[in-house]
Structure 1
Amino acid sequence: MDYHLLHIVTLLTVIAFGGEIRKTTEACNSDDLQGLIGFKNGIPTDTSGRLAKWIGQNCCEWEGIVCENAYRVIQINLPGLISTDTDFYQTQMVGQLSPSITLLTSLEILDLGGLVGLSGTIPQTLGLQLTKLKKLYLYGNNLTGSIPESIGELQNLQELALHENKLSGPIPSSIGQMQALEKLDLSSNLLSGCIPSSLTNLTAISVLYMNTNYLEGTIPFPSRYGEMPSLAFLRLHDNYLSGTVPLNFGYLVSLQRVSLSNNKLEGPLPSSLGNLLSLSELYLSFNFLSGQIPKSIGQLSQLIMLNISNNLIEGPLPQEMSSLQNLQTLDLSFNPLNLTAIPEWLPNLSSLSMIYFAGCGIEGRIPDFLKTIHSSIQELDLSGNLLSGSIPSWIGSLTQLYLLNLSSNSLDSLIPDSISNLHDLGVLDLHSNRLTGSITGAFGIGQGNFGGSLTYIDLSDNNFSRGVEEIGVGGQFNIQFLNLSHNLLKGTLPSSLGRLSYIQSLDLSYNDLASNLPEVLANLSSLEKLKLQKNHFIGNIPNGFLNLRNLKELNLSDNFLEGEIPDGKPLIDFPGSSYSGNKGLCGKPLSPCKTMISIKL
């Protein structure tokens, strides 16, 4: 080969592969190196062990670091949640976020999300120095202070995630300058002040989360058609926002999920909501919204979830709601709807599975047409109404039912035997009615049909008189909450009660139970609340009660218990009122027990 040609080939080879040769022999950019070392020095504890591997001058080879041309760092990927081929695990970096991070002026991705031990403030000059940033994840840390006004200079930023910190102060209006911004999450902070009207300039925004802060004032968008045309997911719940839902809200035509719950919004719902043809979920609960539901809501053919509970909405409900064939959850609870009756078009909603009509002024019997609903009802809440008569036997045909709440009505029947057919029932709440007979039906005693599904039972404030001896017989071993208080129950507590090994709250107060306190209660190690007052229990408090280490509330007052209260925690930590009204009890926290002294003559 010609010498000159060989020289040229060699030179081209060096040029072509020079980057690879330099990668293992040369240091990265000095500013980047200084910035990363400063960051590392601010983190004395790193449970992931990643920073311990940051050794030497070539930061481009460090774990979590990505470089590009001229050895400039373009990515820092150090999330708190690390995934492997088989698992996820949470790590911590305990320390302060160093402002030296702003020396890495070529950064495009900065991901420190979920590092729960990371504290400090967001550097005030971040927006002026890291102008190439496209993604900034600082969520789930312990950051304090304000969001810097300079953040608006990040003209290339597409995703900004600062949620789950302790950031305070106002949201800077400069955020409206970030024309490339697609996702903005400032939720779960301590932010205050008004939502800046400049947000209407964010033409690319599709995800906007500002929920769970202290924001006030009105919702400032949209002001006209065409603003925020890509906004699909909006969360503003759990704030102090006031005023009305904007009349132009329907201009946000790309909206799919909206949550404005738990604010101070008032006035009527705008009819323009009917323009949100892509809307699948709408949460408006716990506000002061008034007027009637607009007929235009029937145009929302994609709607799956509608929650307008705890407002001031009035009836009647528009017939047009019967067009919502994809609706799965309908919650209109606690509005002055004064429905008198459940709408007869309800069974026409072929996808409906969650029905919440609590406190809606419904009168009379539970209507039979509910059993004709084509879908499988999973949750039915008709509590707080004026229902009377019996619990219908057809309730047992709703075999997919998980939650049944008929509490705070005037129902006056027995519990129908058919309820034992509800194999998936997890929550049964029938409190504050006039129900009679045995509680046995509530447990499906004998068949064990509930298996491990039933976890919550409240039959309090009724007229039940029998069945307490059957508690724990069968398969109800996953019950966590059981309230049978304020009934007419007689008999003795069974030893089978000890099978409720997961129970956390047990309330049998205000009945006519008369027996010794069974030793098996000491086996209920998960018990946090035990209320047995106003019964006729006799005998001693078992020493085994000292094993109830999780017990936070105890009331054994107004019984016929006697003897010394077992000396030790948690029993001695409860106030005297927990034991008062038992004339034979003594010892801490009551008066000391009297000792008998024999005298030899």
Structure 2
Amino acid sequence: MPRLTSSPPHIHFFFYIPCLVFLCSLSHVAESQIQDQEQQVLLKLRQSWRDPSSLDHWVTSKSSSHCTWPEITCQDGSITELNLVNLNINYSIPPFICDLKNLNKLDLSYNNIHGEFPTVLYYCSELMYLDLSQNYFEGRIPSDIDRMGNLQVLILAGNSFSFDIPVAIARLPRLRILDLHQSEYNGTYPEEIFGLSDLEELRLEYNDKFVPSQLPQNFTALKKLRFFSMAQTNLIGGIPETIGNMEALEHLDLGMNPLTGEIPGSIFALRNLSELYVYMTNVSGSIAQAVSAMNLSMIDLSENNLMGTIPEVFGKLKNLYSLNLEFNQLSGRIPEGIGRLPALSDVRLSNNNLSGTIPPDFGKFSLLTRFEVAINNLTGTLPEQLCHGGTLIGLAALDNNLSGELPESLGNCSTLSVAMLNNNEFTGNVPGGLWMSRSLTALILSGNGLTGELPEELSPNLTRIEISNNKFFGKIPSTVSSWRNLGVFYASNNLLRGTVPTELTELPLLTRLVLGQNELSGILPTDIVSWKSLTTLNLSHNKISGPIPSELGFLPVLTQLDLSGNQLSGLIPPEIGQLNLNRLNLSSNRLSGPIPAKLENAAYDTSFLNNPGLCASNSFMRINVCNAQPHRLSKTNPTLIVILAIVAAMCVLLVVLFTIRASRKNRSSFDSTPKLTSFQSLNFTESNILSGLKEHNVIGSGGSGKVYRIIVNPSGDAVAVKRISNNQKLNEKLEKQFVAEVEILGNIKHRHIVKLLCCISCENSKLLVYEYMENSSLDHWLHKKKRLSPILGVTNNMILDWPKRLQIALGAAKGLCYMHNDFSSPIIHRDVKSSNILLDSEFNAKIADFGLARMLAKPGEAVSMTTVAGSFGYLAPEYAHTTRVNEKIDVYSFGVVLLELTTGREANDRDEDMCLADWAWRHIQDGNPISDALDEEIKDDSNVDEISNVFKLGIFCTATLPSTRPTMKEVLQVLLKCSDLLYNVEKKSRHKFDVVPLLENSKHDEMPRSNFHDFERNTY
């Protein structure tokens, strides 16, 4: 047999090299073909979306691959992820997107995509992650959605999906995250969802149209669930004791539901729970004790009906950084151990019945940032080391029985921003350093026994000082001119003496100066040109003499003037009659002569009492009638008649010319090519809008232009068109309003915020096209005696009853709450008022007019304004003197709207002597029953308590100090609780913290309007 021999090794080597090269080249060609195909899909996708500017960089390039585009993630040269977030995409998802064969993640959140759920995605067979949140999808979630069998993450939040959540979702066995919060489901959710054994996050919150239901018993079988939220989902019944079986649970939020019963003790056996929110419910009982083994870092059991004491075992939660037990009925002492917790930063125990002393170790072992124990029955002194770590920002201990001197350490607390220590029994001097704390913006010390002289210097950031009802003495220092940022200065009922220093008039940001009931003397300064922001001046009950300076009549925004109880003499300057005063009191002085004719107004009938030398030409003024001779009518001058006739003829001619010019302007404003940008799917064209800009279609007008109602198609569908225009090119102010409206409303989507359909712009005019609201605005219904239907043109005398008013308040609050808390960046509206709350055919409220709105970088962070804008009567007091504002100015304005809804009065009723917010505060302050303030058209025995609580909520929203106002989230929670439609539960008699006794000793403007913590919230 022949001998078989093997080939030499070098022969094998040279044989394989060509094979390897060939195979590599094939692989490279295949990969290149895949990349080319995928790039073509992307370019086709961009084209189908009408080439949005946000995707301008999606272009073919030889120097770089599409895998380098920021929205694209590739693996092994093939696209696996598309992250198309907030790109202003307005069009539907095309089916060829699934030609990206390896696509496993698609994120299209925060766009403007309309239509039903995109079932074309069923063909993306590898898809595991789908996020369609914050778009305009509507209709049902498909009953065959389980065809997307590989899904592990499904996020559909912030859309308009309705009806039931289909049981098919429960047939997606690999789901780890299911987020369906904040939509418009009006049916039920399937209990089978709670059988998804791999579920780690389940969010159904803010779906308040769900059919009322109890938590299903099987939900505790979700052993892997870490995050569970069903806040505001119409949950009823109790929390099952079996909740303690959810071993992995870290975050639990069941807030804003009408739950009943007690908080089950098994919650506190959850070792991994770090965040617990159970608030604004009817949950009652005591706080469970079995918490020592928990990993809690946050406890929020606020706004329940919890009774008993705070468990000592809370002092063993070493990881606890936030403890919020406010608005309950807890009694007894604060456990000593809580003050020694090493991680504790945020302590909120306000509005309870706590007694005893505050544990002295608070702040000694942890870095406190917030310490609130207001409105309790606490005694003793404040802990000495609250700011030991140098991080304390907010301190609120008002309305207790605390005594002794203020801790010296507060004078060294450079981080302290707000200190509210009013209505206690503190004595002694204020620590010198406290006045100078560089971060301090508000120092509230009214209603104590503090003494000493006012400091020569103040913190450069201090905007508010309230020291009324103390024992401060001495002169107001001449260095007061260095208090440059001071906006509010309340120092009534002290022992201050000397003159009102001229230097005090040099404070340009001062809005309220209240120095009544002191021992001030001398004459008033006349050089007051810097007081351009002053709205309130109260120097009553002092020893001030001399004349009233005529310069007071030139203060541009002064609305309240009280100089009563002094020794002023001479005439009342006629310039005072030029002021637009809501409140005037010059009584009990030595004034003489006739009062200015413009002050002879029934609103001021008690403003001049006890001035024997004064007189008026009308007897209703309650002072002596002047002995003036009646004027004799002279014979009519023929020349005067001729002159008047000529003037009248000229006026008629000017009106005709103006009408012709306006008509021509309407035709020429859009001579240049207009550009239409859509934000919704439209059933009309640009020409439909432009052809409807006729005078007979005008339904309103404002500072920026006219508003038209235009029929856009044969079906009779109407839109509202706001025309922002000017004679020439748009000025900077109008341009900013247009840009703000488009930028915000073009992206925002919420059922209680008006929809911006599109905008049309050219050089001289810009049009904003909105959905039409059939029932006009809220002020149209509240303040017009004869209402004209915007559609039929007939008189409508229907009364807006209380259920509708509460429905409107709830809707508007939900819209503002979404803007402040749930949008991608917080938005402040800056012009909340009843005329900017529009009503659809079913009286659902929608917030409108975002021309002044501004976005914040993050919640609570102020934004700088160059000018003050808004509407008188709705403006928060701090807005008039600060360039930095936050969400609390919207809360103030909304509080005024609540007062309008409950009283029927206008925000700035010229028949009254003050704006509505001040009138409501004075009504309570004077001890009058709240029921007397309510609108007689709507109140009866069955609803007076409910209306009264909304009235009081309006007062707390209009608190003078922003930090004491509630958030819109808190406001919404209270309104939900006031609604019989959402909370059909029996009212129970409970211990009350009534607002009236807390305020009955305050005098006029000497104290700030009561804060939210004073609210009688335990009525239900």
How high is the TM-score relative to the length of structure 1?
A: 0.74
Alignment equivalent of 2:352, drawn from 360, 369, 392? 360
| Equivalent residue number for residue 84 of structure 1 | none
User: How do residues 134-283 of structure 1 correspond to structure 2 at under 5 angstroms?
Assistant: 134-139=128-133, 141-143=134-136, 145-146=138-139, 148-149=141-142, 151-163=145-157, 171-187=165-181, 194-214=188-208, 216=210, 217-218=212-213, 220-221=215-216, 223=218, 227-237=221-231, 240-283=234-277
Q: CA deviation at 1:232?
A: 0.9
Instruction: List runs of 5+ in structure 1 lacking aligned partners.
Output: 81-92, 595-601
| Equivalent residue number for residue 26 of structure 2 | 15
Preserved CA contact (<8 Å) 1:196 1:220: no
Alignment equivalent of 1:554, drawn from 525, 535, 541? 535
| Equivalent residue number for residue 87 of structure 1 | none
Distance 1:192 1:405, change over 3 A: farther
Distance 1:322 1:394, change over 3 A: closer
2: CA distance between counterparts of 1:45 and 1:161? 26
Distance 1:566 1:143, change over 3 A: farther
2: CA distance between counterparts of 1:190 and 1:320? 42
User: How do residues 15-414 of structure 1 correspond to structure 2 at under 5 angstroms?
Assistant: 15-22=26-33, 27-28=37-38, 34-38=44-48, 40-41=49-50, 44-46=52-54, 49-51=56-58, 53=59, 63=69, 64-65=71-72, 74-80=80-86, 93-100=87-94, 103-104=97-98, 106=101, 107-114=103-110, 118-121=112-115, 123-126=117-120, 128-139=122-133, 141-143=134-136, 145-146=138-139, 148-149=141-142, 151-163=145-157, 171-187=165-181, 194-214=188-208, 216=210, 217-218=212-213, 220-221=215-216, 223=218, 227-237=221-231, 240-300=234-294, 302-339=295-332, 341-347=333-339, 349=341, 351-368=343-360, 370=361, 374-391=365-382, 401-414=392-405
1: CA distance between counterparts of 2:137 and 2:561? 47
Give the secondary-structure state (helix, strand or coil) at the position aligned to 2:353.
coil
Distance 1:544 1:500, change over 3 A: closer
1: CA distance between counterparts of 2:563 and 2:17? 107
Count of aligned pairs: 543
Preserved CA contact (<8 Å) 2:179 2:203: yes
Preserved CA contact (<8 Å) 1:215 1:241: no
Q: CA deviation at 1:231?
A: 0.9
Percent of paired sites with the same residue:
22
Query: Which string of whole-angstrom CA distances, capped at 9 and with x for unpartnered residues, describes residues 393-440 of structure 1?
Result: 5667676544332111123444343432434433322022233454x4
2:501 equivalent to 1:532: no
1: CA distance between counterparts of 2:148 and 2:481? 63
Q: CA deviation at 1:292?
A: 1.5
Distance 1:533 1:321, change over 3 A: closer
Q: Which residue identity is paired with 1:342?
A: I
Distance 1:123 1:68, change over 3 A: farther
Q: Which residue identity is paired with 2:224?
A: S
2: CA distance between counterparts of 1:167 and 1:542? 60
Preserved CA contact (<8 Å) 2:239 2:263: yes
Give the secondary-structure state (helix, strand or coil) at the position aligned to 2:154.
strand
2: CA distance between counterparts of 1:45 and 1:166? 26
Preserved CA contact (<8 Å) 1:60 1:66: no
Distance 1:556 1:172, change over 3 A: farther
Preserved CA contact (<8 Å) 1:430 1:459: yes
Query: Which string of whole-angstrom CA distances, capped at 9 and with x for unpartnered residues, describes residues 195-233 of structure 1?
Result: 5423212222212333444365346355166x2221112
Q: Which residue identity is paired with 1:563?
A: S
Distance 1:347 1:155, change over 3 A: same
Q: Which residue identity is paired with 2:104?
A: E
| Equivalent residue number for residue 687 of structure 2 | none
2:490 equivalent to 1:508: yes
Distance 1:228 1:463, change over 3 A: same
| Equivalent residue number for residue 812 of structure 2 | none
In terms of fraction of residues, the more helix-rich structure is 2
2: CA distance between counterparts of 1:94 and 1:103? 18
Distance 1:389 1:60, change over 3 A: closer
Preserved CA contact (<8 Å) 2:72 2:79: yes
2: CA distance between counterparts of 1:162 and 1:241? 21
Query: Which string of whole-angstrom CA distances, capped at 9 and with x for unpartnered residues, describes residues 500-527 of structure 1?
Result: 54x6x625264567625734321x4xx8
Give the secondary-structure state (helix, strand or coil) at the position aligned to 1:15.
helix
Q: CA deviation at 1:128?
A: 3.5
Preserved CA contact (<8 Å) 2:411 2:431: yes
2: CA distance between counterparts of 1:388 and 1:366? 8
Q: CA deviation at 1:136?
A: 2.0
Distance 1:304 1:538, change over 3 A: same
| Equivalent residue number for residue 504 of structure 2 | 518
Q: CA deviation at 1:244?
A: 1.8
Preserved CA contact (<8 Å) 1:212 1:236: yes
Query: Which string of whole-angstrom CA distances, capped at 9 and with x for unpartnered residues, describes residues 313-349 of structure 1?
Result: 111344444443333333222221222x223454564
Q: CA deviation at 1:280?
A: 1.8
Preserved CA contact (<8 Å) 2:41 2:96: no
Preserved CA contact (<8 Å) 1:111 1:136: yes
| Equivalent residue number for residue 599 of structure 1 | none
Instruction: List runs of 5+ in structure 2 lacking aligned partners.
Output: 1-10, 565-571, 582-595, 600-1020
2: CA distance between counterparts of 1:72 and 1:324? 50
Distance 1:541 1:185, change over 3 A: farther
2:461 equivalent to 1:478: yes
Distance 1:28 1:299, change over 3 A: closer
Give the secondary-structure state (helix, strand or coil) at the position aligned to 2:27.
helix
Give the secondary-structure state (helix, strand or coil) at the position aligned to 2:263.
coil
Give the secondary-structure state (helix, strand or coil) at the position aligned to 2:443.
strand
Query: Which string of whole-angstrom CA distances, capped at 9 and with x for unpartnered residues, describes residues 466-503 of structure 1?
Result: 4444451xxx22335544455565643754464554x6
2: CA distance between counterparts of 1:359 and 1:6? 83
| Equivalent residue number for residue 476 of structure 2 | 492
Query: Which string of whole-angstrom CA distances, capped at 9 and with x for unpartnered residues, describes residues 448-473 of structure 1?
Result: 5x3x333442223434454444451x
2: CA distance between counterparts of 1:421 and 1:200? 54
Q: CA deviation at 1:312?
A: 0.8
Preserved CA contact (<8 Å) 2:364 2:386: no
2:460 equivalent to 1:460: no
Q: Of the two, which has the highest radius of gyration? A: 2
How high is the TM-score relative to the length of structure 2?
A: 0.46
Preserved CA contact (<8 Å) 1:249 1:273: yes
2: CA distance between counterparts of 1:242 and 1:497? 59
Choose 262-271 or 389-398, whichever is displaced more: 389-398
Give the secondary-structure state (helix, strand or coil) at the position aligned to 2:507.
helix
2: CA distance between counterparts of 1:362 and 1:371? 16
2: CA distance between counterparts of 1:210 and 1:264? 16
Q: CA RMSD in A?
A: 4.4
Q: Which residue identity is paired with 1:76?
A: L
| Equivalent residue number for residue 560 of structure 2 | 578
